[in-house]
Amino acid sequence: MTPAFTRAYVVAWLSMAALLPSLAHAQLAPPSPESPSGLTAKTLVTAKHQMVVAANPLASDAGLAMLDAGGSAVDAAIAVQLVLNLVEPQSSGIGGGAFLLHWDARRRRVASYDGRETAPASASPTQFLQHDGTPLPFARAVLSGGSTGVPGVVALLETAHRAHGKLPWAQLFEPAIKLADEGFAVSPRLNRLLSAEPAGAASFDAAAKSYLFDPYGKPWPVGHLLKNPAFATTLRTLATSGSEAFYKGAIAEAIVATAPNGQRALGGMTRDDLAAYRAKTRPPVCSSYRRHRICGMGPPSSGALTVGATLALLEPFDLGPVPMAPRALHLIAEAEKLAFADRDRFIADPDAVPVPNGLLDRAYLARRRTLIASDTAQPKATAGTPPGLKRTGLDATTEAPGTSHISIVDASGNAVALTTSIETAFGAHRFVGGFLLNNQLTDFSFRPTDAAGQPVANAAAPGKRPRSSMAPTFIFAPDGRLLAVLGSAGGSTIILHIVKTIVGIVDWHLDAQAAVDLPNFGSRNGPFELENKLGGELIGLKMALYGHKVVDSDTPSGLHVIVRHRNGALEGGADPRREGAARGN
**35 contacts 533 by C-beta, under 8 angstroms:** no
Cα–Cα distance for residue pair 557/576, rounded to 1 Å: 9
3-state secondary structure 192-238: HHHHCCCCHHHHCCHHHHHHHECCCCCECCCCCEECCHHHHHHHHHH
C-alpha distances (whole Å) from 269 to each of 125, 139, 187, 434, 447 are: 16, 21, 33, 19, 21
DSSP annotation of 69: T
Active-site residue 46, yes or no?
Answer: no
Q: How many CA atoms lie within 13 A of 18 on its CB side?
A: 5
The catalytic residue among 392, 403, 442, 473 is 403
Residue 21 burial by CB count (10 A; 0-12/13-18/19+): exposed, middle or buried? Answer: exposed
Q: How many CA atoms lie within 13 A of 58 on its CB side?
A: 20
Full DSSP string of 357-389: TTTT-HHHHHHHHTT--SSS---S------TT-
Q: Amino acid identity, residue 305?
A: L
The total of other beta-carbon atoms located within 10 Å of residue 303's CB is: 29
Query: Quick one: CA dihedral 81, 85, 86, 88, positive or negative?
Result: positive
Full DSSP string of 137-175: PHHHHTTSGGGPPBP-HHHHHHHHHHHH--S-GGGGGHH
Helix (H, G, I), strand (E, B) or coil at 51: strand
Cα–Cα–Cα angle for 272, 163, 152, nearest 5°? 30
Helix (H, G, I), strand (E, B) or coil at 287: strand
> Which residues are known to be catalytic?
403
